[in-house]
Amino acid sequence: MSAFDQAKHEVERARFLGDVRDLLAILRRQPNELLPFEWVRHLAPDGEFQRGLQTIEVDHIIGSVDRYREFDRHYLPKERHLDERWIGVRSAQLQGKELPPIQVYKVGDLYFVKDGNHRVSVARRQGQKYIDAYVIELHVAVPPEEDDTLKTLIIKGEYAQFLKATNLDRTVPGHRAIRFTTPGRYERLLEHIRTRQYFLDRKPERAGLPPVTFEEAAESWYHRLYARIVENIEKHDVMTRFPGRTEADLYLWIMDHRYFLTQKYGHDVGSEEATIDFGANHAPPAYKRLGQRMRLMLRGRLHPTM
């Protein structure tokens, strides 16, 4: 079989596998598209650095600058019009010709192809582990992950802005990641910090001292409010009653519940009592939790033992 015929057979096989993966993704409700590089702007990159020629892992390539509609997440070709270029690249490879390095943007530990999408597609089909690439690295505070969607990237971008506003990475190094499952929640945290700042400034022992800075208020909020509620969530095993949710999700709900209980009883019930009461009275029924766990397991987002 000639190199051309073999390459033609392989690209047809690749497109067939792509169709199968599309079907499986629909059944599992999982994304199967390459990530568009334009989505990276949601992560608020604050620097671009030329890293030169490097050898990178093929499996860490998750997106493309302008060909994200033409290949799936496994870099299988989706359209027939890609065949000629794909066959040309694979034929050259079969004939022992050296292929030029690709060009990529590096964001965190992952890559987006600027030039060389067909070379990546061929490399993945051959099980190639590494590929040479000219790398441009973008610095982001919250890096992307392989299974990210537009929604999760928007949330991560909001988280990056939150970290920039609070400077928690500097004031509380190694702090627990504060992740939400819904966009628009970090502004609520900033409101909590501003409230914390207001009350800290009005403590009698601060008379005559400079005003509390927003960074100081954020550090105090993290240790005295957020971390305490997370500790209570763990202590009373509340997370297991809310599959697919995060500590940050529960923090906001518990803070709202604490306010409700305080209004109801006429005194501050404290974070631990609010956590216990919320977990006991607001968790989904067992059958719904089971259904949620099954859906998350099918999407690969929950370990069976969790």
What distances in angstroms separate CA 33 from CA 76, 78, 197, 230, 264, one per listed residue? 10, 10, 44, 35, 49
DSSP H/E element including 293: helix 286-298
| pLDDT of res. 288 | 59
* Residue after which a domain boundary falls, among 138, 164, 179: 138
Instruction: Give the integer Cα–Cα distance in Å for 248 and 127.
Output: 39
Instruction: Give the integer Cα–Cα distance in Å for 181 and 295.
Output: 16
Q: Which tokens in the block code for residue 95?
A: 């004939």
- Quick one: how far is CA 102 from the chain centroid? 25
| pLDDT of res. 297 | 56
In a domain, 57, yes or no: yes
Same domain, 109 and 55: yes
Question: 33, 148 in Cβ contact below 8 A?
Answer: no
Angle at 57 between CA 54 and CA 58, to 5 degrees: 115
Same domain, 13 and 132: yes
In a domain, 85, yes or no: yes
Question: 113, 61 in Cβ contact below 8 A?
Answer: yes
Reading the chain (306 residues) residue by residue, the pLDDT tens digits are 798 888 888 898 988 888 888 888 788 777 788 999 999 989 989 888 999 999 999 999 999 999 999 999 899 998 888 889 999 999 999 999 999 999 999 999 999 999 999 999 999 999 999 999 999 999 998 999 988 888 999 999 999 999 999 999 999 999 999 999 999 999 999 999 999 999 999 999 888 889 999 999 999 999 999 999 999 999 999 998 898 899 999 999 999 999 999 999 999 999 999 999 999 998 876 645 566 556 655 555 554 334
Same domain, 294 and 165: yes
Question: 166, 218 in Cβ contact below 8 A?
Answer: yes
| pLDDT of res. 51 | 96
Same domain, 185 and 293: yes
Question: 255, 230 in Cβ contact below 8 A?
Answer: no
Same domain, 157 and 225: yes
| pLDDT of res. 306 | 40
* Of the candidates 221, 237, 249, the residue with the CA atom closest to the CA atom of residue 279: 237
In a domain, 303, yes or no: no
Same domain, 197 and 102: no
Instruction: Give the integer Cα–Cα distance in Å for 153 and 148.
Output: 6
Same domain, 124 and 172: no
Question: 21, 87 in Cβ contact below 8 A?
Answer: no
Q: CB-hemisphere CA count at 13 Å for 22?
A: 17
In a domain, 144, yes or no: no
Q: What is the pLDDT of residues 213-237, one digit of tens each?
A: 999 999 999 999 999 999 999 999 9
Which CATH number does the domain housing residue 76 bear? 3.90.1530.10
Same domain, 177 and 294: yes
Residue 110's domain spans which residues?
A: 3-138
Q: Which tokens in the block code for residue 60?
A: 């860490």
DSSP H/E element including 98: none
Same domain, 171 and 82: no
* Residue after which a domain boundary falls, among 90, 108, 138: 138
Category of 153 on φ-ψ map: left (φ > 0), alpha (ψ -120 to 50) or beta:
alpha
Domain count for the chain: 2
Same domain, 133 and 23: yes
Same domain, 82 and 103: yes
In a domain, 19, yes or no: yes
Give the global pTM.
Answer: 0.79
Give the whole-number percent of the chain exceeding pLDDT 90. 70
Q: CB-hemisphere CA count at 13 Å for 166?
A: 30
Question: 210, 204 in Cβ contact below 8 A?
Answer: no
In a domain, 55, yes or no: yes
Instruction: Give the integer Cα–Cα distance in Å for 165 and 162.
Output: 5
* Residue after which a domain boundary falls, among 138, 171, 192: 138
Q: Which residues have a Cβ under 8 Å from the Cβ of 165 and sit 6 or more positions away?
A: 190, 214
In a domain, 34, yes or no: yes
Q: Cα-Cα-Cα-Cα dihedral of 42, 47, 52, 54, to 10°?
A: -50
| pLDDT of res. 296 | 59
Same domain, 93 and 55: yes
